[in-house]
Structure 1
């Protein structure tokens, strides 16, 4: 089934200059609704799989590798802005070039849990790994750490099935706290963060990494003492 090709960034001009603006607007709204529905369904499919793993570990393994999960569908403002940057002219190009329309953040307890949960997810037969970027082993220059996966999951609708890409970010509590603070600072300075503050952020990122390693060693020490008596 052919995908819609209505221009996205200059949609308002397209509607205003059409012979029937109202009909053009209704058509675009219908296309956009289908587009966002597909990504919303794909995101929920992956979130359900993560939730199942979370419940399994909570109830049967007496261990909690996943602290919490957050989902988000990219806002129209962010989507249009990224489409402009990447020179996407229609929804087909958006599908091909923008892989983080649907996103899931998985906050794990320890660093090793990041890889453990990621492996369990990509080993599921209906999940296809498209790309993997390991900013835990290789942090960004800013100090940012996270494991990024782009996966594809099938979504079954009434008249068709479609493979939908979903971005999964896995990180520890310390990494998530740092990333949240860094995002707020970048927003405050409109991306032009002063160099002294950038240096301090990198130092804090290193401290967060040290904390993760210390917590991992403490966990290993507790485990070495054997099962807890209750």
Structure 2
């Protein structure tokens, strides 16, 4: 089963490569044109077989490839870190306007943050992968966030890993307060950006 699952993951690896190429092209084109490049850095991620198995158990998903494909939509994921909140939406629009990318789902945790303070824009997109004998539509989760959101999410992940399953209440309160501080910093930086470059930059 492990060998078959590894083979199953290949097409998701190819989907990540396709999305990565598109982002690299956007980055290089904007830089070449002398425009503000909204992308700070990019981190692709492919779930391991053990991670997929654990999630399948957690959500009661049968270990059948059709079921995994239908119910676990974040097997392939890519995180795009941007300078400003407006950049998050700009990059999302640039990607989803491309004719071979199909937007499946949007979860806007910037407009409506999670209860713990988490902020990010999540998209599930499908991208065609051209294999030797067929074309496969591969779902990829795209997470877009600012550097401040990314720093907070990284800290929150480390704290949850250390205190799993129960984070002390005082730490949860500090994390929520830090999330608000990060959001205020993003708003101030956005304002400075617009004062310097104008709203259309």
Q: Give the TM-score normalised by structure 1.
A: 0.83
- 1:80 maps to 53
SS at match of 2:181: helix
Question: In 2, distance between residues paired with 1:32 and 1:182?
Answer: 30
Query: Between Structure 1 and Structure 2, how many residues are aligned?
Result: 197
Q: Structure 1 residue 43 and structure 2 residue 11: aligned?
A: no
Higher alpha-carbon Rg: 1
Aligned to 2:105, which of 110, 131, 156? 131
Q: In the TM superposition, what are the counterparts of 1:179-194 in structure 2 within 5 Å?
A: 179-194=153-168
Structure 1 position 223, deviation (Å): 2.1
RMSD after superposition? 1.1
Question: In 2, distance between residues paired with 1:164 and 1:62?
Answer: 31
- 2:192 maps to 218
Question: In 1, distance between residues paired with 2:178 and 2:79?
Answer: 21
Contact 2:30 2:36 in 1 (8 A): yes
Structure 2, gaps ≥5 residues long: none
Structure 1 position 62, deviation (Å): 3.0
Question: In 1, distance between residues paired with 2:132 and 2:153?
Answer: 39
- 1:54 maps to 27
Structure 1 position 221, deviation (Å): 1.7
Structure 1, gaps ≥5 residues long: 1-10, 12-27, 225-230
Structure 1 position 199, deviation (Å): 0.7
For each residue in 1:141-181, what CA deviation from the matched residue of structure 2 results, as whole angstroms up to 9, or x when unmatched? 00000000000001111121111000000000000000000
Moved over 3 A (4+): none
Q: 44-53 or 105-114: which moved more? A: 44-53
Question: In 1, distance between residues paired with 2:165 and 2:27?
Answer: 36
Q: Structure 1 residue 203 and structure 2 residue 144: aligned?
A: no
Question: In 1, distance between residues paired with 2:119 and 2:142?
Answer: 13
Q: Give the TM-score normalised by structure 2.
A: 0.95
Structure 1 position 61, deviation (Å): 3.3
Q: Structure 1 residue 163 and structure 2 residue 137: aligned?
A: yes
- 1:93 maps to 67
